[in-house]
């Protein structure tokens, strides 16, 4: 057996897992899905899903990861003493692969924006022009493909260095810097004319705006931002010593992630309303609104550049975790094979990601199931594969691992009591699976069908 690597410090683990969680999900996707999905109502639903479903699952992934001390494919078969269960790890590896193939497209857009600023192309434009510029940038096939490749290349270079020197060190510097800059940005946004409209849109719920689809999106979003259901958290927890306090780590990560999503919303929606843009503009939102907000500040473009660099870091720390789970599984944690495997996996991901990248340009008119290639991949990962993975993990933890083993593992490093344990267990065993199944059935239209039958 090869020796499993370990995190160097407790805070290093928390920042690396928070780094995996905080990324495009909280900063780019959250504001735009909240914008299309009903604003405040969506936000509250997202919060509820995060607390009631996300939190127990995150802890579940931590427990089996640390208990298994292995890559996600082995962990499940080892803990269940049955190789069939490795399917959960395999689904996770497959999902991470597809996820990074389109995630890297957006990572590439951030790189292109950085290049634009440095070249002076974003200075002093009027608000509407930023929207057009975004469309011009993302529809250029050559530039977007190169940028996507650069994004993957950076991930390869860091992940091939391993846990401590690569992922942990990078996360320790980037995450605190991101938080500080975000707070500055929100202060500026809140002082724009008409900012309160935006705050109201994000925080005051109108539940009549919710649809089945927005409920599914809120569920998908809460799993997506916490990197749940793909065994990334299982993999990161496998590098932990038994002294780490798991409940405390899970709570810290959830708080950090929620704060960043909230700050992203507070940075963007005041700008949307102040500049008369549409909150449901979709993926363009952050790229069109933020330059306009920054443009109104002294040294605005300098701060926007700093913001983009940190945004890029946040996306990268998430990308690291997606590659890491694949590398850990393929190399079976053998450090000697790490470098070569990381390169091969990274290049394959780039190739598979090409159609997603071109979905905003050359392939914009090619639609499958009414969606562009990019949207189809995103929908399959965020709204089907991740909730499905989460469902299987919840079933696995609560049915296949004995309660005593779970309690001992949870207690190791923390001083939680039976009460906390029981609540967590009930949420994971009953509430999480039932909620996921209901949301799935609802989306498939089964409830409408049943109602029709009984009419």
Interface with ligand PHE includes 318 (CB under 6 A)? Answer: yes
Q: Return d(Cα 378, Cα 30) in angstroms, integer.
A: 14
Q: Return d(Cα 278, Cα 149) in angstroms, integer.
A: 31
Tell me if 202 sits within 8 A of 265, measured CB to CB. yes
**At 402, is the secondary structure helix, strand, or coil?**
coil
Nearer to ligand PHE, 235 or 274 (CB): 235
Nearer to ligand PHE, 127 or 324 (CB): 324
Nearer to ligand PHE, 195 or 319 (CB): 319
Tell me if 159 sits within 8 A of 327, measured CB to CB. yes
For residues 324-350, one letter each, b for 16 or more C-beta atoms within 10 angstroms of the residue's C-beta and e for the rest, the string is bbbbbbbbebeeeebbebbeebbeebb
Interface with ligand PHE includes 25 (CB under 6 A)? Answer: yes
> Could you say which of 24, 292, 391, 394 contacts ligand PHE (CB under 6 A)?
24
> Could you say which of 23, 38, 198, 389 contacts ligand PHE (CB under 6 A)?
23
The two tokens of residue 176 are 């605190």
Interface with ligand PHE includes 222 (CB under 6 A)? Answer: no
Q: Which residues contact 270 (CB under 8 A, 6 or more apart)?
A: 189, 190, 192, 194, 195, 196, 197, 198, 199, 293
The two tokens of residue 285 are 């939102």
For 120, which DSSP code?
A: T
Interaction residues for ligand PHE, span 320-359 (CB under 6 A) = 321-322
Nearer to ligand PHE, 226 or 292 (CB): 226
| Residue that the structure tokens 């991901």 belong to | 349
The residue range among 283-291, 317-325, 364-372, 421-429 that interacts with ligand PHE, by the rule CB under 6 A, is 317-325
Interaction residues for ligand PHE, span 223-252 (CB under 6 A) = 224-225, 227, 230, 232
Nearer to ligand PHE, 21 or 111 (CB): 21
The two tokens of residue 382 are 């965020």
Interface with ligand PHE includes 50 (CB under 6 A)? Answer: no
Interaction residues for ligand PHE, span 87-126 (CB under 6 A) = 96, 99
Interface with ligand PHE includes 26 (CB under 6 A)? Answer: yes
Nearest distance, CB of residue 267 and ligand PHE, angstroms: 16
Nearest distance, CB of residue 175 and ligand PHE, angstroms: 13
Q: Return d(Cα 177, Cα 310) in angstroms, integer.
A: 7
Nearer to ligand PHE, 16 or 138 (CB): 16
List, in sequence order, every residue forming a beta bridge with 371; answer none if it has no partner. Answer: 368
Find the residue with minimal CB distance to ligand PHE: 25
Nearest distance, CB of residue 177 and ligand PHE, angstroms: 17
C-alpha dist (Å) from residue 283 to 38, 56, 198, 229, 382: 16, 30, 18, 24, 15
The residue range among 18-26, 77-85, 191-199, 207-215 that interacts with ligand PHE, by the rule CB under 6 A, is 18-26
**At 229, is the secondary structure helix, strand, or coil?**
coil
Nearest distance, CB of residue 317 and ligand PHE, angstroms: 9
The two tokens of residue 450 are 């049943």
Nearest distance, CB of residue 176 and ligand PHE, angstroms: 18
Interface with ligand PHE includes 261 (CB under 6 A)? Answer: no
| Residue that the structure tokens 């909280």 belong to | 26
Tell me if 111 sits within 8 A of 155, measured CB to CB. no
Interface with ligand PHE includes 58 (CB under 6 A)? Answer: no
Nearer to ligand PHE, 131 or 325 (CB): 325
**At 10, is the secondary structure helix, strand, or coil?**
helix
The residue range among 73-81, 140-148, 318-326, 337-345 that interacts with ligand PHE, by the rule CB under 6 A, is 318-326
Binding site for ligand PHE (CB under 6 A): 20-21, 23-26, 96, 99, 224-225, 227, 230, 232, 318, 321-322
């Amino acid at each position: 057996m090869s020796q499993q690597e370990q995190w160097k410090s407790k805070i290093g683990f928390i920042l690396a897992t928070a780094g995996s969680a905080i990324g495009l999900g909280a900063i780019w996707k959250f504001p735009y899905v909240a914008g299309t999905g009903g604003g405040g109502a969506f936000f509250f639903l997202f919060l509820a899903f995060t607390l009631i479903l996300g939190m127990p699952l995150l802890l579940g992934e931590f427990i089996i990861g640390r208990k298994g001390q292995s890559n996600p494919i082995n962990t499940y078969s080892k803990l269940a003493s049955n190789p069939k269960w490795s399917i959960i790890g395999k689904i996770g590896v497959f999902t991470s692969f597809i996820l990074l193939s389109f995630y890297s497209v957006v990572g590439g857009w951030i790189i292109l924006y950085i290049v634009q600023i440095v070249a002076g192309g974003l200075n002093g434009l009027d608000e509407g022009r930023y929207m057009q510029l975004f469309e011009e940038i993302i529809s250029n096939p050559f530039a977007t493909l190169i940028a996507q490749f650069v994004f993957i290349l950076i991930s390869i270079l860091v992940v091939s260095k391993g846990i401590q020197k690569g992922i942990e060190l990078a996360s320790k510097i980037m995450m605190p810097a991101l938080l500080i800059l975000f707070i500055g940005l929100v202060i500026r946004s809140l002082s724009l004319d008409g900012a309160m409209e935006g705050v109201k849109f994000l925080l005051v719920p109108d539940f009549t705006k919710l649809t089945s689809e927005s409920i599914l999106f809120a569920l998908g979003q809460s799993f997506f931002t916490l990197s749940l259901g793909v065994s990334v958290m299982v993999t990161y927890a496998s590098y932990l010593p038994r002294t780490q306090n798991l409940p405390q780590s899970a709570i810290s990560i959830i708080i950090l992630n929620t704060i960043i999503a909230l700050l992203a919303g507070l940075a963007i929606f005041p700008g949307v309303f102040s500049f008369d843009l549409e909150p449901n503009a979709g993926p363009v939102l952050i790229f069109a609104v933020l330059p306009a907000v920054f443009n109104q500040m002294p040294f605005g473009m300098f701060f926007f550049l700093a913001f983009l660099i940190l945004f890029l870091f946040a996306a990268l720390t998430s990308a690291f975790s997606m590659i890491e789970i694949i590398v850990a599984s393929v190399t079976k944690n053998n450090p000697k094979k790490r470098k070569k495997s990381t390169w091969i996996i990274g290049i394959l991901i780039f190739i598979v990601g090409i159609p997603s990248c071109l979905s905003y340009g050359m392939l914009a008119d090619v639609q499958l199931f009414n969606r562009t290639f990019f949207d189809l991949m995103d929908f399959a990962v965020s709204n089907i594969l991740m909730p499905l993975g989460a469902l299987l993990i919840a079933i696995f933890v609560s049915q296949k691992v004995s309660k005593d083993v779970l309690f001992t593992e949870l207690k190791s490093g923390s001083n939680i009591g039976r009460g906390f344990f029981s609540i967590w267990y009930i949420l994971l065993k009953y509430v999480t699976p039932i909620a996921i199944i209901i949301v799935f059935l609802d989306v498939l239209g089964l409830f409408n069908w049943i109602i029709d039958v009984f009419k």
